[in-house]
Amino acid sequence: MKQLQLSFAILVMVILFGTGGYMIIEGWNIVDAFYMTIISITTTGFAEVKPLSPPGRLYTVAIIILGVSAIAYIGGRAVQIFFESRLLLFRRRRVDKKIEKLEHHYIVCGFGRLGKPICDELHVLKMPFVVIEKNENKVDALIEAGYLVVNGDATVDETLLKAGLEHAKGVVAVLATDAENVYVTLSAKVLKPDVFVVTRAIEEETEKKLIRAGANRIVKPYEIGASRMVNLLIRPRVVDFIDIVARTRGLELNLEEVSVGSKSSLMNKTLAESSLRQKLNIIIVAIFRKDGKIIYNPISSEKIQEGDRLIAVGQMKDLVVLNELCG
């Protein structure tokens, strides 16, 4: 659109240039000079207003070349913009249809400095997610990258619903201000009380508001950054190992959270009876009970119960099998 606006500006300059030139070269009044410029640019073939002098004829040739070039450029750009807009409309409709079919996905509100790496990480992990972004220019780039995007304000209920909140597993609120993140958290919890919401807080007093709004987890980037820098300073190898396990960098090793369903074949079996270590080479490092109890480094006689959340370490292919066993 900027290029189209520029070409229109060039066309106006050609008209002004032509009108002024005829007034100077031929001594015509502004109406005759303007009329001659227009019929020259459009090549309509009307007769000259008055006989032209040799310099005037050469000047007319220059005006015709400049004018026709500007009009041709405008026409080409207009056609290009039309087809690009139709293509973009088709892509957005296709994206909307894909979002309608999603279930158990995640919604990322905002594609800024924090939202971008979150989306990149989810993409690497092949987790289904939808981005809500207000900036029109970012939306086009996200669609080109193959992301599912909703163009709109995440603080508006209709936008969250369009992103498939009713079928979503979790929401990440990383908008520019704390006020917006509080509003998104509150809206998401009102529309779907059981959705898991992770949000960012910059100011200290915002944390209490987010808790009241229903946020399940609150991330304070400055505190996390400070803690990580201290750990890198004091125990760098521990941080490296956690990065490898949690972010699958360098080794085929993953840290996964798996829920035990009511139809799981592992239910009421001990860890020893499940043979997870022997058959799948999976280590259960913790069990989160439904009543809130946490069992770290569970012993082999510990029973797996319905509703448990197992924190497991192993290769991705084995963790996929564990997911299936847990139902």
Range of the domain at 172: 102-224
Same domain, 202 and 257: no
Greatest Cα-to-Cα distance within the chain, rounded to the nearest angstrom: 108
- Of the chain, the end-to-end C-alpha distance in Å amounts to 52
pLDDT for res 77: 81
The pTM assigned to this predicted structure is 0.65
Residue 241, domain member (yes or no):
no
| Beta strands 196-200; 168-173: pairing state | parallel
pLDDT beyond 70 at 252: no
Which of 224, 241, 275 corresponds to the end of one domain? 224
**Top mean-pLDDT range of 49-53, 201-205, 212-216:** 212-216
Mean pLDDT of the chain: 86
Same domain, 111 and 40: no
pLDDT band at 1 (very low <50, low <70, confident <90, very high): low
Same domain, 13 and 80: yes
Tally the domains of the chain.
3
pLDDT for res 210: 92
Which of 224, 240, 274 corresponds to the end of one domain? 224
pLDDT > 70 fraction of the chain, expressed in percent and rounded: 96
pLDDT in tens, 4-17: 777 788 888 888 98
- Distance in angstroms (rounded) separating the CA atoms of residues 81 and 74: 10
pLDDT in tens, 110-135: 998 889 999 998 988 888 999 999 98
- Do 162 and 154 contact (CB within 8 A), yes or no? no
Which of 224, 241, 274 corresponds to the end of one domain? 224
pLDDT for res 124: 83
pLDDT in tens, 150-176: 989 999 999 999 999 999 999 999 998
Q: Three-class SS of residue 6?
A: helix
Q: Residue 288 is part of a domain; what is its CATH number? A: 3.30.70.1450
Residue 95, domain member (yes or no):
no
Same domain, 199 and 307: no
Q: Three-class SS of residue 298?
A: coil
Same domain, 114 and 220: yes
Same domain, 184 and 208: yes
- Distance in angstroms (rounded) separating the CA atoms of residues 132 and 148: 9
Give 142-202 as a DSSP string: HHHTT-EEEES-TTSHHHHHHTTGGGEEEEEE--SSHHHHHHHHHHHHHH-TT-EEEEE--
Q: Residue 161 is part of a domain; what is its CATH number? A: 3.40.50.720
Same domain, 66 and 111: no
pLDDT for res 181: 94
Better pLDDT: 165 or 77: 165
